[in-house]
Structure formats: C-alpha cells, structure tokens
C-alpha cells in the first residue's frame, strides 16, 4: 500500500526492478601478433629482405619465425638489391634456403665480378667455382622450367689467360660426374654451351650430353635431339609420322618450343594424317592457352613501344 491509502500493483508503471549493473569489458588490443601463424607466414614470405630484417627486430616471436622457417627466406624479395660484401650473408642464406632470385644474382655476380670484388690473383678460378655453385643451385630450384644457365656461360670465351666461363663449365661437368641425381638440366646446359662451338668434336660431345640429359628426363634435350634428327626422318613417310607423333608428345608435356614447331607444321599443311579441322584446333588451342601475364609490365618499362610494335 502506498502513501494516501492507494494500492499499487506490480505493473511496470508502479513497480520497477533494480536495473542490472553492466560491467564494461575493456576492449582487447589486437596486434599483428594476434594473427594465426599461417597468416603471419603469408605476410612475411612476400616482404623484401630489408623489411624482413626490420620486422625481425620488433618482437621475439617474429624473430623466431624469421630465424626458424626456411619458407620466409625462400620467398624473400631481393628486388633492386645486388650482392655486395655488406649483404653477402643475406644473399647466401636466402639462396641456401631455396631463394631462386638470390641464387641467380649470386651466380651472375661471381661470374662477372660485379659487386663481389676478388683480388686479381686467381680471380677466374675463385669466382668461377663460386659461380658454379650458385648456378647449380639455380637449376635445382628451376623445377618444371627450361634450363637456362647456359646463357651466362656460352661462348665466346676469353683466349687470354683463364676464363671464368670455362671454369664454371668445367666445374659443372665435374659435378655431373660425381653426382648421380639432379643432373638432367645441368647436362643440358653443358651440351648447349658446347653446341655453340664450331669444333666437330665439341658438337659430338654436345649430342652425347643431350642424349644423356634426355635419358634422365629433360624434355628440352629430347626436343633438341628431335629437331636435329627431323631432316633425316622427313625422307621416309613412316619415320616422318613417328617423328610427328614424338613432337605432339613433347608439346603435350609442356615444351613450348615443341608447341611452336607443332603449330608451324599444322599451319603449313604438314598435317601428316590429321584432318584440316584437327590441325586448326591444335593451333587454336596453343594460342588460346598462352597468357601474356607480364604484358602490362613490359609496356610500362618499354615506353617507346607503339601500337604497331605491340
């Protein structure tokens, strides 16, 4: 009963429960360290090597991730950075962890003595052996792509004194003799270098290297052997058909040189049993499957290109 004899009910107007006191929770401070480790790895793996070192100095956990996971160094970017005595350890560490860019740059730096100065005495021998080591590593990391380090050591070689390119070639040859695995791409590169000499003996050695490389699974070597033999195969219809089937097999396995040769053969009417429609489909499939992923980047660098040149 309220004041004045008025009876109050327990409705919301006459009676109210005491309000519950809400406890305010302090907002949780989220930082980059709150992210799952797999997300942190994804962030770290695509940083430049300078940024990785800066992040490493921020926190002990980030330092642990950088120091103990090879994938961070394998994917680190060395863009606009060249090997020098100051950063040599970083390049070597990344290369040993599987960084393709670091391995290539170290090989070139030692081969041409760019950035990593060595005394004039025995320069070719010292630099050649070091370049050979990193070029060999480069080819081991170059999985699924055509061997290419032969481009750096191809002739002409220096005829006055020792030649660094010749030292690299000889060192890689010795490595292939001692090593029983991962040799196919190196053998191919050795063969490509020798094939550029006019000496008949070197030409024969190059063919032997290509055959050994092809037997170990190098698709590019198999195609080069096919290309050198096709003139003889064209004289006999049966051998010609067999040669064409081999070319189709190389193209189907992803050899782009074989794909171009196959497209040329079909476009020129050398169908060898294929109907015109089937030949057209092969050519169309080749060009439709080609994607110019770096087209815009090329045009931004080569600004002198006009529409006709493109």
The answer as to whether 131 is a domain residue is yes
268: domain range?
70-301
Q: Are 59 and 184 found together in one domain? A: no
Name the H helices within the chain: 37-44, 49-56, 60-68, 70-74, 88-96, 100-112, 123-141, 150-153, 164-178, 184-195, 200-215, 219-233, 237-252, 256-267, 276-288, 295-301
Six-digit token pair at 65? 């991730």
CA dist., res. 101 & res. 67, Å (int): 19
The answer as to whether 1 is a domain residue is no
Residue at a domain's end among 46, 69, 92: 69
Q: Which residue matches tokens 């020792």?
A: 162
Do the Cβ atoms of 76 and 47 come closer than 8 Å?
Answer: yes
**pTM for this one?**
0.78
Mean pLDDT by 10 residues, the chain (310 residues): 56 60 72 86 88 92 90 92 93 96 96 77 82 96 92 89 89 90 90 94 96 94 92 74 88 89 79 70 78 60 51
Q: How many Cβ atoms are within 10 Å of 219's Cβ, its own excluded?
A: 20
Q: Which residues of 263-291 are buried (b: 16+ CB within 10 A; e: fewer)?
A: bebbeeeebbebeeeebeebbeebeeeee
Q: Are 172 and 255 found together in one domain? A: yes
**Which of 104, 101, 99, 48 is CA-nearest to residue 71?**
99
- How many folded domains does the chain comprise? 2
Q: Are 39 and 116 found together in one domain? A: no
Six-digit token pair at 29? 């401070």
pLDDT of residue 208: 96
pLDDT of residue 293: 60
Q: Are 250 and 152 found together in one domain? A: yes
Q: Are 62 and 91 found together in one domain? A: no
Q: Are 292 and 252 found together in one domain? A: yes
pLDDT of residue 57: 93
CA dist., res. 219 & res. 192, Å (int): 14
The answer as to whether 17 is a domain residue is no
Q: Are 227 and 155 found together in one domain? A: yes
Q: What is the CATH number of the domain that holds 130?
A: 1.25.40
The answer as to whether 165 is a domain residue is yes
pLDDT of residue 308: 46
Q: Are 46 and 85 found together in one domain? A: no
The answer as to whether 310 is a domain residue is no
The answer as to whether 76 is a domain residue is yes
Residue at a domain's end among 69, 90, 116: 69
Written in H, E and C, the secondary structure of 116-133 is: CCCCCCCHHHHHHHHHHH
Q: Are 65 and 75 found together in one domain? A: no
pLDDT of residue 230: 82
Q: Are 50 and 144 found together in one domain? A: no
CA dist., res. 204 & res. 221, Å (int): 14
Q: Are 109 and 166 found together in one domain? A: yes
Residue at a domain's end among 69, 96, 125: 69
Residue 15, preceding peptide bond in cis (omega within 30° of 0): no
Q: Which residue matches tokens 């004045």?
A: 4
Q: Are 227 and 178 found together in one domain? A: yes
The answer as to whether 3 is a domain residue is no
The answer as to whether 4 is a domain residue is no
CA dist., res. 71 & res. 67, Å (int): 10
């Amino acid at each position: 009963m309220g004041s004045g004899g008025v009876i109050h009910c327990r409705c919301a107007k006459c009676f109210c429960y005491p309000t519950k006191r809400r406890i305010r929770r302090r907002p949780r401070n989220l930082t980059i360290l709150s992210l799952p480790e797999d997300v942190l790895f994804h962030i770290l793996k695509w940083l430049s090597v300078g940024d990785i070192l800066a992040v490493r100095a921020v926190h002990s956990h980030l330092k642990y991730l950088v120091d103990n996971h090879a994938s961070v160094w394998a994917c680190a970017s060395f863009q606009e950075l060249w090997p020098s005595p100051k950063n040599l350890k970083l390049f070597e560490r990344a290369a040993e962890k599987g960084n393709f860019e670091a391995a290539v740059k170290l090989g070139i730096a030692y081969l041409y003595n760019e950035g990593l100065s060595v005394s004039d005495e025995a320069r070719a021998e010292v630099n050649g052996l070091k370049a050979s080591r990193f070029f060999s590593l480069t080819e081991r990391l170059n999985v699924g792509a055509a061997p290419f380090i032969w481009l750096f050591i191809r002739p002409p070689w220096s005829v006055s004194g020792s030649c660094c390119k010749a030292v690299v070639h000889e060192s890689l040859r010795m490595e292939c003799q001692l090593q029983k695995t991962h040799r196919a791409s190196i053998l191919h590169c050795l063969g490509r270098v020798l094939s550029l000499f006019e000496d008949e003996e070197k030409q024969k050695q190059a063919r032997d290297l290509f055959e050994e490389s092809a037997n170990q699974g190098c698709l590019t070597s198999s195609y080069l052997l096919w290309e050198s033999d096709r003139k003889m195969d064209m004289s006999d219809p049966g051998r010609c058909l067999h040669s064409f089937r081999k070319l189709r097999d190389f193209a189907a396995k992803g050899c782009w040189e074989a794909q171009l040769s196959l497209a040329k053969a079909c476009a020129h009417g050398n169908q060898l049993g294929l109907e015109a429609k089937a030949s057209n489909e092969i050519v169309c499939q080749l060009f439709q499957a080609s994607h110019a992923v770096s087209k815009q980047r090329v045009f931004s660098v080569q600004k002198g290109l006009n529409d006709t040149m493109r």
